[in-house]
A and B are shown apart, each in its own frame.
Chain A
Amino acid sequence: MAEIVFAPLQMGFSAWRDVARDCLAAGLEPSRVEWGAPQGLFSAFGVPKPEAPAPMPTVPRRFMQVARRVAHHRDDRRASTLYRVLWRLTHGEPRLLESAADPDVVELRTLDAQVRRSAHKTKAFVRFRKVEAEDGEHFVAWIQPDHPVLPLLGEFFAERFSDMRWSILSPDASLHYDGKSWSLGPGRPRSAAPTHDELEALWKTYYRAIFNPARVMVKAMTSEMPKRHWHTLPETSEIPGLLADSARRVDAMLAMPSAPEGPTAHALVSELDDLASLHEALSSCRGCELHEAATAPVPGRGSPHAPIVLVGEQPGDLEDRAGRPFVGPAGRELAQALEAAGLSHDEVYLTNAVKHFSYAPSGKRRLHSKPRATHIRACRPWLLAELERIRPRVVVCLGATAARALLGVEVRVMRDRGTPRACAWAPHALVTVHPAAALRAKDAGRAAELRAALRSDLARARALARGAPEKEVESS
C-alpha cells in the first residue's frame, strides 16, 4: 500500500535538499510525498530518516543551479515540482531537462523565471536612505520582493556597495553588511526603516526631467515596474503629475491641437492583480461614459481555472441590476445550451466584452443599445486582463461584438461560426451565435436552427478543451 508521507516544507535550498535526499533514499515516488504539514496536525512528518545520511545522487549541474533559485519561490508547489523533476532525473530520465516542452520542465522553467525576475527587480528597486548614526553613515532600504529572494542577493549587494555599511529590510528577511561581510537576519516591518532622504528631491527632479512627454506609454512602464512596487519607490510619486501634464506639454511643444483617441480602461488594469482584485478594481472604472448611466459594472463569473471562457456582448437590464452576467433570459438560454453540450459549471467562465450596461431609456424601460466601437475599445483591457489570468484552452466569442473585441475582425456569425482558430490568449478561439439571437428569431424554425448551432459549437469547444486532435487548428 502506497501511503502518503508528509514532508516538512521550509524556505531555501538546503532545507529542501535535505528532505528531498531522505525521500529519495526511501524510494518515495513524488505522488506519495505531500509537502507541508497535514491540516490540523502538529508534527506528523513521516519521512523516514536513513541510518547514515544518504549521498545526493548525481544530477545535472544545471538542475542544481535552477533548484537553488526555485527553492526561493513563494508558492508551496516549488517543493513538489523540484522533487518531481529530481525523481525523474534519477529514475531513468537523466536528460529530462532537454525536453523543453515536458510539462514538469515547463513548470520548473516558469518557477525559475519568476524567481529570477523577482531577484532582478529587487536588485533594481532597492532604494537606500542615508542615516547619520553616531558611528557614521548607514544606508537602509525597505523593500517587498515578490518572492523571498534576499538570501540570493547578499553577495551581489556586498560587492556593489562594498565601501558602505548598509541594511536591506523586507518582511521575509533582512540583509546586513558591516563593511566587511554580509549576514542574513529576520524579516522587519516597514516602520524599522527611515522615511526620507534629502537626495530624493534631486532624484525626483531627474526623473521628471528625463521623461519625454511626447511618448506616453504607461503600459510599458507598469509591466516593467508594476504598481504594487510603487510604494517603496520614491520617484513614483511624480507619475500622476507627469501624466496629467504631458498632453499640455506636448501641445505646447508642437503648438498643434492634440487628437486624442479617447480614454480607455487601460490605466486601471494593473499587471499582476489576480482575478478577484481585478473584479474589485472594475468598480472604479471610468474608461468610457457607460459607467455614468449604468448601476454597476458586471464582472465575469466562473472558475478562475476554467478551460473555456465565453465572451458575450454586454450586460442586459437584469444583469445590470443583479451585478452578475448571464442571469436574464439569454442566460437561461445559454445555461440550457451548456447543459446540452455536456459542459459543467466549473468548466466555463462567463464574461462580456463590455462591462457596463449600455441602454437607451424609453419611458420606464431601459432598452438595450449596442455598445459602440469606442466602448468596446475602452473596455478591452478588462477582457484581456481576465483572459491573461485564466489562460483558457478555448475562448468562445458569443456573437459579432465579442469577436470584434477579441479577435479584431469583423465576422458574419453564421458564415464564420464553429471554425477554431488560434488567438493570442488561447490555443483555440471559436465564434458562435449569441444566445439572445435565438430569443429574437423571427420564427420557430430559425430559432431552432440558431439553438442547434450554439449547441454544436459549444460541444466543439468542449472537445477542444479536453484535447481534440491538433489538426483542427487553423491559423487565422
Chain B
Amino acid sequence: MSVAAPDIRRKLRVLADAAKFDASCASSGSKRSGGKGLGSTQGMGICHSYTPDGRCISLLKVLLTNVCVYDCAYCINRRSSDVERATFEPEELVRLTMDFYRRNYIEGLFLSSGIRKSADDTLLRMIEVARLLRERESFGGYIHLKAVAGASEALAQRAGLYADRVSVNIELPKDTDLQRLAPEKRSSQIEGSMSAIRSAIDESRSSRRRARAKPPRVAPAGQSTQMIIGATPAQDRDVLHTASRLYAHHRLRRVYYSAFSPIPHASLALPTKPAPLVREHRLYQADWLLRFYGFDVDEVTPSSAPALDLDIDPKLAWALAHRERFPVHLDTAPREMLLRVPGLGVRSVQRILSMRRQHKVTLESLRALRVPLRKVSPFIVTSDAHHGASQLLDRQDLRRRLLPATQLPLFGQTHG
C-alpha cells in the first residue's frame, strides 16, 4: 500500500471531513514516556497546527467509517443521509498514524466511527487499530477512542487497555431529547458504558497501587463526553445539571459542548438556525466555575433564570445578582471569595495570596499582574483605594458599564 494512493487520500478526505464537528481535540492529561518505541505523551497536549477556524490540530481525528445503520437526526452520517461514504482498513489507519506522527504533525490518533454492522463489531475494529499501534508498532503517542453507544461493557473496558482516553457521547442534554432525535440510543445505555469504563479505570488504579508487577493502565487520561447544544429546547440549567451529574457519577475529565450547526440534508426534526457560538462559550465558562471555582449549578443557573446571560460571563452575572457579597478586601478575603470576584482567575488569585504575605495588595500591583481592572475594581477594596470604584456597586447601570466594549468573537477557542 502506498500512502500516496488516491484511494487513501479519498478516504482521508471523507473521514476527516465527517469527524470535524467533534469538539474534543485535546490530547492532554496523559503521561506515557517513550521507552523502546516511538512516541511520548506529555501532561500538556501540543497543538501542532491551527486551521483558519481558529481550532487546534493536535490529533489525527478521523472516523473508521462513516457508514452507519443508526439514524440520529443531528448527524450527517445517519443512515438516511446522502453523503459520500468510506471505510478505513485498520492497517491503513495504523500506517497513516505512524507516518504523521514520525513527521511531528500530530500527537496521536482520535478515532471514532459510525456503526457499520453492529456496535460491537465496530468497536472491535477500532480496538484492533489501537492494539496494532501499541503492540506491533510500540506506539507511545496519544490515543483517544470514542466508544460506540450500545457496545458491550466488556468491550468498552477493553478499549481502555490501549487508549489514553475513552469517551462515550452523551449526545443531548436530556433523555427525552435523545428519544426524539436519536431513537436507537438510550441514555441508560450510554451511562452504562460510562460507568463500566469508570470502574475499569478505578480498578486498574487501585491494583496498580497494590501490586508489584503492575497490571496495564486503563485510560490514564480518563474519560470525556460531548453534548450538542441548541438542537433541542433544553436550557443551560438542564445542560449543566446533566454535566455535573456526569462529573460526579462517572468522574469524567471533561464535558465538551458543541453548538449545534445545521448540516446538509438536515432532518425536519431540527432547527434550521445554528445555535450561537457564544452560548457554547458561556457554557464552558460556567463549567469551569463548577469545577474550579466552587460554584454549583443552582448558583450559575437558578431556576428563576435557567439560561446563561449571553452578553456577560457567568461569574460577572452572578456577582451582579449578589452585590451584597461585595466588595471584598483583597488583603483579607478568603481564597473562596477571591475566586468569586469577576475578572480574577485561579492564577491571579494564587498570585494575590502569595503577594499579600509580603505586602499589601495595591491597585498598581494588580496592574502588574495584568488583572482587568475595569472589571475587577467595582467588586474590590484595596488599602490604597478605599473609595475606589466600589461605590459603583450600587449603581443601577453597572451591568451596562461592564459590558465588553465590543463583542469581538473570541469564542470558539475554548476547548483544548
Question: Which residues of A are interface residues toward B (Cβ below 8 A)?
Answer: 95, 98-103, 106, 120, 123-130, 139, 141, 159-164, 197-199, 201-203, 205-221, 224-225, 233, 235, 239, 242-243, 246, 253-254, 407-409, 421-424, 427, 470-471, 473-476
Contacts and interface: CB of A to CB of B under 8 A. Distances in A.
A271 to B, nearest CB: 12
A209 B373 contact: no
A100 B354 contact: yes
A359 B329 CA distance: 53
Nearest to A198: B4
Contacts of A160: 34, 38-40
22 contacts: A98-B358, A100-B352, A102-B368, A141-B104, A160-B39, A161-B38, A163-B38, A197-B103, A202-B4, A202-B12, A209-B17, A215-B54, A215-B277, A218-B52, A220-B413, A221-B51, A224-B56, A235-B49, A408-B406, A423-B374, A471-B387, A473-B388
A162 B39 CA distance: 7
Given A198-B4, A203-B105, A217-B53, A471 B388 contact: yes
Interface stretch (B153-161, B235-243, B359-367): B359-367
A237 B17 CA distance: 19
A206 B60 contact: yes
Interface in B69-104: 96, 99-100, 102-104
A98 B355 contact: yes
Interface string B9-50: 100111011011100000000000111111110000011111
Contacts of B355: 98-101
Contacts of A474: 389
Contacts of A197: 103
Contact of B365 (A95, A101, A235): A101
A83 B257 CA distance: 47
Given A159-B40, A210-B20, A217-B413, A106 B368 contact: yes
Contacts of A141: 104
How many chain B residues sit at the interface, stated as a range, is 35 or more
B385 A210 contact: no
Contacts of B52: 211, 216-218, 221, 239, 242-243, 246
Given A163-B38, A205-B13, A471-B385, A139 B369 contact: no
Contacts of A206: 12, 16, 60, 100
Contact of B103 (A127, A213, A470): A127
Contacts of A217: 52-54, 409, 412-413
B275 to A, nearest CB: 12
Contacts of A246: 52
Contacts of A198: 3-4
A124 B105 CA distance: 8
Nearest to A427: B367
A220 B50 contact: yes
A408 B405 contact: yes
A212 B53 contact: yes
Interface in B255-295: 261-264, 274, 277
B374 A422 contact: yes
Nearest to B10: A205
A207 B48 CA distance: 11
A207 to B, nearest CB: 7
Contacts of B352: 100
Given A163-B36, A217-B412, A253 B56 contact: no
Closest 5 CB pairs of A and B: A220-B54, A101-B365, A217-B54, A408-B405, A101-B368
Contacts of B50: 220-221, 224-225
A470 B413 contact: no
Interface in B206-254: none
A100 B352 CA distance: 8
A217 to B, nearest CB: 3
A471 to B, nearest CB: 6
Nearest to B17: A209
B104 A407 contact: no
Contact of B51 (A129, A130, A207, A475): A207
A199 B95 CA distance: 11
B125 interface: no
A474 B13 CA distance: 54
Contact of A164 (B38, B363, B369, B375): B38
A99 B355 CA distance: 5
A206 B372 CA distance: 39
A2 B49 CA distance: 52
A181 B364 CA distance: 49
Contact of B374 (A163, A216, A476): A476
B8 interface: yes
B104 A212 contact: no
Contact of B20 (A101, A211, A253): A211
A443 to B, nearest CB: 36
Nearest to A243: B52
Contacts of A422: 373-374, 377
Contacts of B274: 214
B368 A103 contact: yes
